[in-house]
């Protein structure tokens, strides 16, 4: 039986920080990412792909606001913006992965699933929004938008500017997880939990409803990986390995660490929430609930022996 892997794509899988986000740019990035994903297929894995949507959903929100101001179009809530992003990002990944598969003489169906994720409407995250979305702003522009709209902004830990922050509740249940697992184990490629999933809650028994939030993509991916019994969880980012004392003269790359060590480093403040922190938390969640490994690495190192940082149970 083939192994099953969940691969959480980083934001740079579709959009680089120095790009404007044209469709040509996103398709080219998706194609390069797909070439790396094929390495896992060639190593006898079935795969489920998840992805972020921070830049894209931010642009959707900007278009939303502009359409309202210029033409009186009704603004859509955050859950609908996430659903929009799942559709168009899934389409780009599907198409470019199909192109790469055909170039490699491989035949797999690729299915994008608009994925709802259950959250608790009373999650404390709604009292303290912390999830960055959308483009980076200089402080003056962020302050102006805050005054006009009441939106909250946070300075990026890597000095790239200021971004809007929204609530990021903990994901509880991946809806349709059984179908996602079934399709993937049959050998098809599934794209799911885009942008962390569409956040929903039960407004009353038997009635789901969307809620204004963005779920962390890596944590939702870890939950999905554990709930579908994945054999491996890959978190792709823009650095080859997790580092201690990142971006300082004492920077040190980590080849392997246990979840106990990872938690200690978190507690020390080595992995900030606005940077590597959510990925480490997601890795810990998957390893704790599955006993299997998580690997955090750069997209180009996917499927390479000893590539990236391996997080293990012991």
- Parent domain of 237: 3-119+172-312
Of 220, 173, 178, 180, nearest to 47 by C-alpha is 180
pLDDT digits (tens, 9 = 90+) for 101-152: 999 999 999 999 999 999 999 999 999 898 877 778 899 999 998 998 788 9
Of 302, 304, 285, 182, nearest to 225 by C-alpha is 285
Binned at pLDDT 50, 70 and 90, residue 254 comes out as very high
Residue in 10, 64, 131, 281 annotated catalytic:
131
Least confident range of 28-42, 59-73, 285-299: 59-73
Residue in 10, 11, 196, 197 annotated catalytic:
11
pLDDT recorded at residue 172: 98
- Compute φ and ψ for 253, nearest 5 degrees: -75, 145
Residue 202 has pLDDT above 90, yes or no: yes
| In-domain check, residue 138 | no
178 catalytic residue (yes or no): no
Could you tell me how far CA 184 lies from the centroid of its own chain? Answer: 19
| In-domain check, residue 301 | yes
279 catalytic residue (yes or no): yes
| In-domain check, residue 297 | yes
3 catalytic residue (yes or no): no
11 catalytic residue (yes or no): yes
Residue in 12, 46, 53, 64 annotated catalytic:
12
pLDDT digits (tens, 9 = 90+) for 174-190: 999 999 999 999 999 99
Number of structural domains (the chain) is 1
The three-state secondary structure class of 191 is strand
CB contact at 8 A, 175 and 118? yes
58 catalytic residue (yes or no): no
Report the predicted TM-score, pTM, of the whole model to 2 decimal places. 0.91
Binned at pLDDT 50, 70 and 90, residue 305 comes out as confident
Q: In Å, how far are 60, 198, 212, 258 from 234, measured between CA atoms?
A: 28, 21, 28, 16
| In-domain check, residue 196 | yes
Query: Which strand (E) or helix (H) includes residue 226?
Result: helix 217-227
Binned at pLDDT 50, 70 and 90, residue 18 comes out as confident
| In-domain check, residue 156 | no
Residue in 217, 232, 241, 298 annotated catalytic:
217
CB contact at 8 A, 177 and 223? no
Q: Quick one: the chain helix, strand, coil %, rounded to 5? A: 40, 25, 35
- Compute φ and ψ for 47, nearest 5 degrees: -135, 145
| In-domain check, residue 161 | no
| In-domain check, residue 114 | yes
E strand spans, 167-302: 173-174, 189-191, 198-204, 207-210, 232-237, 243-244, 252-253, 256-258, 294-298
CATH at residue 285: 3.40.1160.10
Higher pLDDT, 235 or 166: 235
Instruction: Give CA–CA dist 118/26, Å, rounded.
Output: 29
pLDDT recorded at residue 183: 97
Residue in 177, 232, 279, 298 annotated catalytic:
279
């Amino acid at each position: 039986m083939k192994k099953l892997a969940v691969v959480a794509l980083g934001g740079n899988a579709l959009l680089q920080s120095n790009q404007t986000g044209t469709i040509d740019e996103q398709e080219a990035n998706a194609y390069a990412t797909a070439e790396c994903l094929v390495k896992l297929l060639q190593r006898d894995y079935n795969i489920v792909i998840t992805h972020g949507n921070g830049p894209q959903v931010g642009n959707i929100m900007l278009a939303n606001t502009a359409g309202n101001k210029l033409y009186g179009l009704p603004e859509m809530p955050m859950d609908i913006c996430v659903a929009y992003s799942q559709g168009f990002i899934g389409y780009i990944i599907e198409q470019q992965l199909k192109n790469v598969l055909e170039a490699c003489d491989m035949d797999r169906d690729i299915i994008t699933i608009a994925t709802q994720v259950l959250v608790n409407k009373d999650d404390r995250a709604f009292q303290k929004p912390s999830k960055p979305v959308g483009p980076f702003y200089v402080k003056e522009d962020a302050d102006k938008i805050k005054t006009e709209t009441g939106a909250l902004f946070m300075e990026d830990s890597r000095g790239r500017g200021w971004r809007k922050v929204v609530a990021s509740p903990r994901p509880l249940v991946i809806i349709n997880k059984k179908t996602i697992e079934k399709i993937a184990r049959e050998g098809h490629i599934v794209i799911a939990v885009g942008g962390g999933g569409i956040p929903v809650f039960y407004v009353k028994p038997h009635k789901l409803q969307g809620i204004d939030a963005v779920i962390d993509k890596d944590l939702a991916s870890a939950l999905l990986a554990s709930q579908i019994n994945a054999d491996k969880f890959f978190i792709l980012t823009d650095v080859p390995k997790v580092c201690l004392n990142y971006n300082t003269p004492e920077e040190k790359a980590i080849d392997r660490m246990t979840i106990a060590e990872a938690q200690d480093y978190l507690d020390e403040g080595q992995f900030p929430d606005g940077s590597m922190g959510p990925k480490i938390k997601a890795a810990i969640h998957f390893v704790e609930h599955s006993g299997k490994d998580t690997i955090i690495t750069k997209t180009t190192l996917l499927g390479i022996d000893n590539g990236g940082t391996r997080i293990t149970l012991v």
